[in-house]
Structure formats: structure tokens, C-alpha cells
Structure 1
């Protein structure tokens, strides 16, 4: 089962390494991790996507709370949430192929952010499934480079 966990931490050097190291030492894989400042000065929010059962999630949560710089741990996937990811995809695109590629881009409400003589760079934002689908449709054109941000998420509505 996939879990999306938000971890509020003190914005201090080494905190990311300690949190990711905790997962590694326990043998848990991090599928995605994003980190950025939060709404409170001096605090950062990590959004971690991992896979495991409820027992694993409980164990990780307890271990995270043992770290000095961890303030709060929330299983976002336990409630309705909004989750997004950004990808930049550079595809081979000779001028004759561009209208066809633009059709795919428009269908996904993505955008072209760079045009080269023989390539296009596409920016797409959405859930992981949307990004995966876009990548699959662009593969036949020759993906030259691909980068993804990882998932960032928060609960829907008024929940905190």
C-alpha cells in the first residue's frame, strides 16, 4: 500500500539526511521526497511517498518522532488529499512532428517551455498517473531527457 507522509521539521542542516537515513536503516524505500519551507518560519515540510503496510507506517512514524528535529508527522493518504508532481520532458521534435506533439501536450493541459532546433521541452503538472501517461505517449517521439519533482501534497478542505 502506498503512503504519503508529511513531516514537519526544524529547518536545520542534516535533517533531510537523518530522516532519509531512518528509512534506509529500516529497509523502507522512499519512492519520492520533496522538501520546502512551510507556512511557519524556521520549519520545513517534507512530503515522503513510501510503500508498506500499516505496521510499517506505524513503525516509521514512531521512529520519526524520536528524531529531535521532527515536530509533526501526518499520514496524508489516510484522508482526502491533493497531490501534484511536475515533470519536464525533452523530446526529439523535428518541425514536421511538432503539430502532432502539440496535440498530445494540449490534451494533457501541459505546456511547451522551450523549443530547440530539434527538440521541445514539455512541462506537465498533475498526479503521478497523469505524468506516467504523458511520458508513455511521448516515448515514440524519443525522450531525450526527463526530470520529475516528486509528489507534494496536502489534505483537502479545512483539515490540517
Structure 2
């Protein structure tokens, strides 16, 4: 198990927290509060990979390995998946270049989400990303509307 790991509401309780809760939590942390060694994610990644394999759309580890192999064009075996997720095999590290294929094969994106959150970034899925983009567009419209109003008021003062 991971040592010195702070619980994450999204992963430890099984409850999906809102992005606003995560942003608020991260914003309250000052950069100097990052503890030495806190970026060592070996155990957390191993746990997330194991959890992802268990939740892999009723796929066996053989099937996940085959799908990943197909996606990356490199042979990945069930034995490799087992080594990457076994606590006893600390020397066997999961290659980062296989992470997108793992997430695609299993449908489990928590490893990417965990990594992004560590550096105060956020993983948005398709619909969430579009909603965020719409929010940015709405904000831009409001700002442009304020500028337009100010310019029109100024022009009105000039013509008086």
C-alpha cells in the first residue's frame, strides 16, 4: 500500500467530487506546502492501475494487454501488467508512454487524473471540456459587452 498518502475524496470513497471542489482544495494549498517526496507516485500509480484492471469493462488482463498492444504497436503481456501492478515488484515500473493505451483499453482514467491534479491541472472529458469552453466563450462575451458599453458611453459623451 502507499505510504504517507493523503486520502483523495474522488478515489478513496468512490464518490465523484466536482472539479470546483478539487480546484478549491488545490487553490488553498500554497506551492511551498508540497512535501518532499510527495511527487513519488510509484505506489499510487500501481494502486490506480490495479483498480483500473479490476474495473476494466469485464475484460481479463490478457484482453487488456492485447488491446494495449494493438494500440501502441508493441507487444505487452499479461505478465508485464502483473509486474507493473505488483507491490512486490518495485523495480518494474509502468512506462508512461503506455498510459494513454491503458486508459483507452480499460476505460479507467484515474491514473491520468491523479497525475494532472498533482501539478494543479485537471482532466476534463469530452462533454466537460466542451462545457468549459462554453464557459470561456460566455466570459469573453460578458467582457466584450462591458467594453462595448464603455465605448458607447464614451462616444455619447464626445458627441454632446
TM-score by length of 2: 0.25
Greater radius of gyration (CA) = 2
Relative to its length, the structure with more helix (as a share) is 2
Structure with the greater relative contact order (CA < 8 A, sep ≥ 6): 1 or 2?
1
TM-score by length of 1: 0.25
